[in-house]
Structure 1
Amino acid sequence: MARPDVPPAMLERLRRILGALPECEEEAAWTGVRWRVGKATVAHVFGGEDQLFRVTFRAEPAEVMAFGHLGDPYFVLGWSGDGAGMLLDDTTDWTEVAELLTDSYCIQAPARLADLVERPDAG
């Protein structure tokens, strides 16, 4: 099966989250859309051949391990010790997505940029 395009409403939600982060740029990916800070990928959203939508991101190793144990809607990227993802659908908690993607940005961004971002759990 062909991979579906990411729905415009889903892309718009992600653009609001990631577009607010300093120097975080959107670009077309091999499939779907990704956001980068410098050359580091912060998030990648795409439709799978199973017709489900996913966003991948970076997380601290302990958090990645927790995602692996939680199961749906979370998953761990097998090729990376610091990569995780989440299925996106009509039940997605977009506040949680914003927190996860903000954390991913802060992991990937240079300190001078990460220090500009207010994180929900900072302090």
Structure 2
Amino acid sequence: MSDIADVPPAVVGRLRVICRELPEAYEEPAWIGLRWRIRRGTFLHVYTTDERGSAYIDLDDPAILMTFRAPPGELAALTHAGPPFFRADWGVNVVGMVLDDETDWVEVAELVTDSYRVQAPRRLAFRLKAGG
């Protein structure tokens, strides 16, 4: 079972504020960290690496990682942008981002919202775009 204590409360709090605005999105423990889902699809996963690091990115120290879905047109741009982004090869259109003191939380909100739109049924994605 997940140890949600591995993700700093301040990071979880910021992500909760973002995800609270997304229709029918819900949070649950993942195998490590937390994930947010729409129906049965995960659109956001956040966790802290341990001393073993990450299978997706070379890290010298433990780090907070966020994985999310990118729209097809943005996938290549994000994965080739370099730090703080990386390609997470566990699924189609999945990108990762290192969260740290330099993180732009406005950008995170946009990325999470776009990820939700990728995973959400059209009706819910449209509702979000319509502001309802």
1:42-121 residue pairs with structure 2 within 5 A? 42-49=43-50, 50=53, 51-118=62-129
Q: State the percentage of identical aligned residues.
A: 50
The equivalent residue for 2:58 is none
Matches of 2:76 and 2:92 in 1, distance apart?
Answer: 9
The structure 1 segments of at least 4 consecutive aligned residues displaced by more than 2 Å after TM superposition are none
Q: SS where residue 98 of structure 1 aligns?
A: helix
Matches of 1:26 and 1:79 in 2, distance apart?
Answer: 20
Matches of 1:76 and 1:98 in 2, distance apart?
Answer: 19
Matches of 1:11 and 1:42 in 2, distance apart?
Answer: 15
**Which letter maps to 2:7?**
V
The equivalent residue for 1:29 is 30
Is 2:17 the counterpart of 1:16? Answer: yes
TM-score, length of structure 2 as denominator length: 0.83
Q: Which runs of 5+ in 1 are unaligned?
A: none
The equivalent residue for 1:6 is 7
Matches of 2:33 and 2:124 in 1, distance apart?
Answer: 25
Deviation larger for 110-119 or 38-47: 110-119
Matches of 1:98 and 1:52 in 2, distance apart?
Answer: 19
Q: Which runs of 5+ in 2 are unaligned?
A: 54-61
Matches of 2:34 and 2:16 in 1, distance apart?
Answer: 10
The equivalent residue for 2:57 is none
Name the count of aligned residue pairs: 116
- Aligned CA-pair RMSD: 1.4
TM-score, length of structure 1 as denominator length: 0.89
